[in-house]
Amino acid sequence: MKNKIALEEHFAIDLTITDSQVYARPEMWQGLKNNLLDFEQQRIEQMDEWGTELSILSLNSPAVQGIPDAKRAVEVARRANDVLAEQIRRHPTRFGGFAALPMQDPEAAARELERCVTQLGFHGFLVNGFSQVGDENTVVYYDDPRFADFWSTAAALKKPFYMHPRDPLLNREPIYEGAHWLTGPTWAFAVETGIHALRLLSSGLFDRHPELQMILGHFGEGIPFNIWRVDHILRKGRRGMPCDREIGDYLRSNVHITTSGNFRTPTLLSTMLEVGSDRIMYSVDYPFEKHEDAARWFDRCEISENDRRKIGRDNAVKLFGLK
């Protein structure tokens, strides 16, 4: 497929690049670093070779979310967004943008989001999971009441947001002790991000903002596979859950799901049977994943060509109001 749109494609700036070093074996780090900092060389070459017309770019992880000093977070976010805006200006048919936001300061985050959407033409924002606020060990999830106004601003802008993984703080997840190969994209990313997404879905956020759309990568971080059980259990007793509807209702109304880093048809199938093909979208997770791996799988995976066009492009066109 020649004109795919990809949504979980990352870059880094000088101030955030070292955050990604942990995700590369030492001998691969220089290559990953180059790919994160590059925009116009291998990034566009790879997009051309593997049929991605448009990449909506976002900062690496955790980056801004991992800066406890709110003022510093604001500065780094702004710097990253400006770098990205410049690249979009140079390649408006090839790049789009998700804003990085200093969620440590919800008011500043709202202002930065407005700037990114209304002035820079960004397509929404991407957060790398929870934010550390004030000190390294103080963590906030975005169902916290302090974000009420932020979400009102975000919803009013009518752009989706991407809930992207970050690793949990190890002192908050001793379960991985002695098995650290399970952290990061192996398993911990999905667990951490899945729970954060479930917090938002069950918080009432989407009752207050029924048009708001959250994007989840990696085929929904495991949620589609167990969503029936989630609702089945809560139907026996909601245990104080504050939202109005069932979590699965929000999953089917307020969530879009991408293929990033999870290039597997049975998983696509399970997701399609829970949310429908209108809410699934192609993504790579470049440069942590290869365009080649994503496209070799997606371009040939055995689904209807009609669904391939929707997942590969048309759903994103509709969600972001492109063209």
DSSP string, 128-160: ESSEE-SSTT-EE-TTSGGGHHHHHHHHHTT--
- Cβ contacts of 90 within 8 Å, gap of 6 or more: 40
Instruction: Name the binder of 225 from Zn ion, a second copy, none, CB < 5-8 A by kind.
Output: a second copy
Q: How many residues bind Zn ion (CB under 5 A)?
A: 2
38 labelled catalytic: no
Instruction: Name the binder of 285 from Zn ion, a second copy, none, CB < 5-8 A by kind.
Output: Zn ion
Tell which positions 48-67 bind Zn ion, by CB under 5 A.
none
Residue 83 or 163: which CB sits closer to Zn ion?
A: 163
CA gap 102, 112 in Å, rounded? 8
Quick one: which of 270, 176, 179 has its CA closest to 222? 270
Q: How far is the CB of 95 from a second copy (least distance, A)?
A: 26
Catalytic one of 19, 105, 167, 285: 285
Quick one: which of 118, 130, 131, 77 has its CA closest to 99? 77
- Cβ contacts of 138 within 8 Å, gap of 6 or more: 68, 132
User: Could you give the 3-state DSSP secondary structure of residue 299?
Assistant: coil
Q: How far is the CB of 217 from Zn ion (least distance, A)?
A: 6
Taking each helix axis from N to C end, the angle separating 223-235 and 247-254, rounded to the nearest 10 degrees, works out to 140
Residue 167 or 285: which CB sits closer to Zn ion?
A: 285
Burial degree of 266 (CB within 10 A; 0-12, 13-18, 19+): exposed
| 244 C-beta neighbours (distance < 10 Å), count | 12
289 contributes a contact to Zn ion by CB under 5 A = no
Selected range binding Zn ion among 22-30, 132-140, 152-160, 282-290, rule: CB under 5 A:
282-290
Residue 121 or 276: which CB sits closer to a second copy?
A: 276
Instruction: Name the binder of 267 from Zn ion, a second copy, none, CB < 5-8 A by kind.
Output: a second copy
274 contributes a contact to Zn ion by CB under 5 A = no
| 179 C-beta neighbours (distance < 10 Å), count | 10
Residue 128 or 277: which CB sits closer to Zn ion?
A: 128
Q: How far is the CB of 110 from Zn ion (least distance, A)?
A: 24
Residue 148 or 179: which CB sits closer to a second copy?
A: 179
Residue 58 or 315: which CB sits closer to a second copy?
A: 315
- Cβ contacts of 229 within 8 Å, gap of 6 or more: none
Instruction: Name the binder of 97 from Zn ion, a second copy, none, CB < 5-8 A by kind.
Output: none
Q: How far is the CB of 196 from a second copy (least distance, A)?
A: 8
Contact residue for Zn ion among 9, 19, 274, 285 (CB under 5 A)? 285
- Amino acid making up residue 143: D
Q: How far is the CB of 52 from a second copy (least distance, A)?
A: 19
Which residues would be at the binding site for Zn ion (CB under 5 A)? 8, 285
Catalytic residues: 285
